[in-house]
């Protein structure tokens, strides 16, 4: 037995997960920050060939804002780029990045046998592969990373079998609850054992996953996927008003065991919003009750929650902005709204119930001249549930003030990664449905343009950039049946 990992409970989950892919280590699909387009390029409204836009980009350098995770094996990848009409999609081949290497100072864990390439395109593949290991990356070009090998500098294609941004420092990790041990940094991978609460030594980590030595060889743990260190013992019955997923561990990052139909269930434990129940064939399992939309009552309006965040500055490329109010443009950003659809397609604008949404706010000077705020800019985020013809305020967050400052031309101050955990102002989970997020100025924001002889102007808080709509949905998946997972109907907990 390895001295660092005492064997607590050994269990392998025999049920397969529901159809939605679960939490894998983050940053699986990186992308270059920009690309120089050498020819006229077709633009798309979505990452599929049917969503053709009437916009075409002339040869120019554009900022890349995102990438579709399902990179093709044919050397073609969809990239989200910034245009004067907002973020749009373009299709680029590996060859379009020829001669456009960008420095990359990161470490990459190879999770499977990985082919080496002589150059960053499909035609450069060699017959040599690297076994699983962690390697330093030197540069990125399109969907390839350059690495240093015993054969000199070679390239590897970016796939789901790479773990990026790996920290190679050793650290001690406290496991506070019973924690599963995985073959890979992926909640869909095989659980080989469970560890009792203890301290373990990790020698590398990424995205919440930690690589540790065990008596079974090097394995992975994620402290967010574990049984709680302390759960309250309760005894009550609750009614599930809709199909609800069951989990071995109280975490949305873990793999679901299946889904049960609406019914009455007896709760025997609770940790936060999660409740523990007992089933005839699975034993103790966890679920996250979601309120019935028709029975949900919005909180009585109260004080906003204060958001802990720090304004940061970035300089944007001239010509990359457009469609904003002029010269100062406030805008909202939302991360976490991409949800795999039941048919495997990507549906933008929805998120699974119970998961955290990351909010962002920016104030951008879209002119070429400096703009100076005459006083601190104070903003508030307000989140509404769309209930038929009316909207109900469920949450609001007061942002830290942006001090009076000068914003250079094409410069932007921004707040990023503001979390909202789907709880309302009363601390209750909100139901699935449609939601509206709005950015409001607590008081008027005045500014002066350098080119207008100290004329004081007022920030416009209007237009589609200061509001965003999105949905909270019950994620698709399989159902529990007496023989495992089925896809046609929900099941009860008792036989």
Neighbours of 9 (CB within 10 A): 11
Contacting residues for 303 by C-beta, under 8 A, at least 6 apart: none
- According to CATH, the topology of domain 305-473 is Immunoglobulin-like (2.60.40)
Question: What pLDDT digit, counting tens, does each position of 398-431 carry?
Answer: 999 999 889 998 899 999 989 998 999 998 889 8
Q: What is the CATH number of domain 7-25+167-221?
A: 2.30.30
Tell me which H or E stretch contains 477: none
**pLDDT score recorded for residue 29:** 62
pLDDT tier at 241, thresholds 50, 70, 90: confident
Q: What is the mean pLDDT of residues 245-251?
A: 92
At 6-40, the pLDDT tens digits run 323 222 222 222 223 333 444 346 788 888 999 99
Which pLDDT belongs to residue 418? 93
- Cβ neighbours for 452, distance < 8 A, ≥ 6 positions apart: none
The pLDDT of residue 489: 32
465-490 mean pLDDT: 53
Is the Cβ–Cβ distance between 365 and 411 less than 8 Å?
yes
pLDDT at 282: 84
pLDDT in tens, 45-98: 988 889 999 999 999 998 888 887 655 556 788 989 888 888 899 999 888 888
Burial code (b: 16+ CB inside 10 Å, e: under 16) for 429-463 equals: bbbbebbebbbebeeebebbbeeeeeeeeebebee
β-bridge pairing 102-110 and 133-141 = antiparallel
Please say whether the beta carbons of 415 and 334 come within 8 A. Answer: no
Instruction: Give percent above pLDDT 70 in the chain.
Output: 83
Kindly report, residue by residue over 131-148, the tens digit of the pLDDT. Answer: 999 999 999 988 899 998
More confident residue, 451 or 155: 155
**Counting Cβ atoms within 10 Å, is residue 255 exposed (0-12), middle (13-18) or buried (19+)?**
buried
Residue with tokens 């009550």: 236
| Mean pLDDT in residue range 358-372 | 90
pLDDT score, position 69: 64
Query: Residue 157 to residues 30, 175, 220, 285: CA-CA distances in angstroms?
Result: 11, 34, 23, 39
Average pLDDT over every residue of 436-452:
89
Q: How many helices (H) and strands (E) does the chain have?
A: 0, 45
How many residues can be counted in the chain?
Answer: 495
What is the C-alpha separation between 398 and 340, in angstroms, rounded? Answer: 32
Distance separating alpha carbons of residues 356 and 23, to the nearest angstrom: 13
Sheet strands (E) in 408-483: 411-420, 433-441, 446-449, 456-458, 467-473, 479-481
Strands 350-352 and 467-473: parallel
Buried b (16+ CB within 10 A) or exposed e, 169-193: eeeeeebebbbbbbebbbbebebbb
Whether 7-25+167-221 shares its CATH topology with 232-294 is answered: yes
Sign for the pseudo-dihedral over CA of 475, 481, 485, 488 = negative
Contact 437, 468 (CB under 8 A): yes
Give mean pLDDT, residues 310-326: 70
Using the structure block, give the residue that is written with the tokens 């805008």: 331
Contacts with 195 (C-beta within 8 Å, 6 or more apart), sequence order: 5, 6, 7, 8, 175, 178, 179, 180, 181, 221
What tens digit of pLDDT does each residue of 337-354 get? 765 444 444 445 788 777
User: Which residue would you say has higher pLDDT here, 99 or 117?
Assistant: 117
> Cα angle vertex 423, ends 180, 306, to 5°?
110
Q: What is the DSSP string of 350-398?
A: EEETT--EEEEEEEEE-SSS-EEESS-B-EEEEEEEEETTEEEEEEEEE
pLDDT at 495 over 60: no
pLDDT attached to residue 73: 56
List the one residue out of 241, 364, 358 whose CA is nearest residue 293. Answer: 241
Cβ 245 vs Cβ 287: under 8 Å = yes
Distance CA 487, CA 407 (A): 55
3-class SS at 96? helix
> Domain ranges in the chain?
7-25+167-221, 42-164, 232-294, 305-473
DSSP per-residue string spanning 259-297 = EE-SEEEEEEEEETTEEEEEETTTEEEEE-----TTT--
What is the rounded end-to-end Cα distance, in angstroms, of the chain?
40
Per-residue confidence band for 207, with pLDDT thresholds at 50, 70 and 90: confident
Whole-number pLDDT of residue 317: 63
For residue 23, the tally of other CB atoms under 10 A from its CB is 21
Residue 4: band (very low, low, confident or very high) from pLDDT cuts 50, 70, 90 = very low
For residue 299, the model assigns a pLDDT of 92
Give 371's strand partners: 407, 449
pLDDT at 275: 93
Q: Does domain 232-294 have CATH number 1.10.1660.10?
A: no
pLDDT average, residue stretch 321-329: 69
Q: What is the DSSP letter of 216?
A: T
From 83, 44, 36, select the one nearest 320 (Cα to Cα): 83
For the cut 60, the answer to whether the pLDDT of residue 477 exceeds it is no
Q: Band the pLDDT of 463: cuts 50, 70, 90.
A: low
CA 214 to CA 193: how far, in whole Å? 10
Q: Whole-number mean pLDDT of the chain?
A: 82
* The pLDDT value given to residue 19: 28
What is residue 324's predicted lDDT score, i.e. its pLDDT? 59
Asked whether the predicted pLDDT for residue 1 surpasses 60, the reply is no
């Amino acid at each position: 037995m390895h001295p660092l990992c005492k064997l607590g409970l050994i269990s392998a989950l025999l049920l397969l997960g529901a159809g939605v892919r679960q939490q894998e280590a983050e940053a699986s699909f990186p992308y270059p920050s920009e690309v120089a387009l050498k020819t006229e390029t077709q633009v798309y409204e979505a990452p599929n060939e049917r969503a053709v836009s009437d916009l075409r980009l002339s040869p120019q350098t554009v900022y890349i804002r995102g990438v579709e995770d399902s990179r093709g094996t044919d050397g073609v990848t969809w990239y989200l780029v910034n245009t004067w009409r907002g973020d749009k999609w373009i299709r680029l081949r590996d060859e379009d990045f020829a001669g456009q290497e960008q420095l990359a100072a990161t470490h990459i864990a190879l999770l499977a046998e990985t082919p080496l390439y002589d150059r960053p395109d499909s035609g450069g593949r060699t017959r040599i592969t690297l076994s699983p290991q962690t390697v330093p990356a030197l540069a990125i070009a399109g969907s390839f990373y350059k690495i240093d090998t015993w054969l000199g500098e070679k390239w590897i294609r970016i796939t789901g079998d790479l773990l990026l941004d790996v920290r190679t420092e050793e650290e001690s990790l406290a496991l506070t609850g019973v924690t599963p041990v995985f073959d890979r940094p992926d909640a869909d991978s095989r659980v080989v054992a469970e560890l009792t609460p203890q301290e373990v030594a990790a020698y590398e980590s990424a995205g919440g996953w930690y690589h540790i030595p065990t008596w079974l060889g090097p394995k992975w743990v994620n402290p967010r996927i574990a049984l709680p260190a302390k759960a309250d013992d309760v005894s009550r019955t609750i009614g599930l008003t809709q199909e609800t997923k069951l989990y071995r561990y109280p975490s949305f990052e873990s793999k679901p065991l299946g889904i049960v139909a609406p019914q009455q269930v007896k709760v025997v434990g609770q940790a936060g919003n999660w409740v523990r129940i007992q089933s005839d064939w699975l034993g103790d399992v966890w679920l996250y009750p979601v309120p019935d939309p028709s029975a949900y009552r919005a909180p009585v309006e109260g004080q906003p929650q204060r958001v802990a965040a720090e304004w940061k500055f970035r300089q944007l490329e001239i010509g990359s902005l457009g469609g904003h109010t002029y010269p100062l443009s406030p805008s909202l950003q939302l991360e976490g709204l991409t949800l795999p659809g039941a048919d495997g397609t990507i549906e933008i604008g929805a998120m699974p119930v119970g998961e955290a949404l990351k909010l962002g706010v920016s104030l951008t000077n879209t002119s070429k001249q400096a703009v100076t705020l005459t006083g601190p800019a104070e903003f508030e985020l307000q989140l509404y549930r769309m209930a038929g013809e009316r909207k109900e305020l469920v949450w609001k967050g007061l942002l830290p003030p942006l001090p009076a400052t000068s914003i250079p031309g094409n410069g932007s101050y921004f707040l990023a990664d503001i979390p909202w955990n789907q709880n309302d102002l009363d601390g209750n989970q909100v139901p699935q449905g449609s939601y509206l997020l709005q950015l409001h100025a607590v008081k008027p924001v005045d500014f002066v343009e350098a080119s207008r002889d100290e004329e004081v102007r007022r920030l416009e808080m209007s237009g589609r950039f200061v509001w965003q709509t999105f949905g909270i949905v019950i994620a698709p998946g399989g159902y529990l049946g007496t023989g495992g997972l089925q896809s046609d109907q929900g099941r009860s907990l008792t036989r």
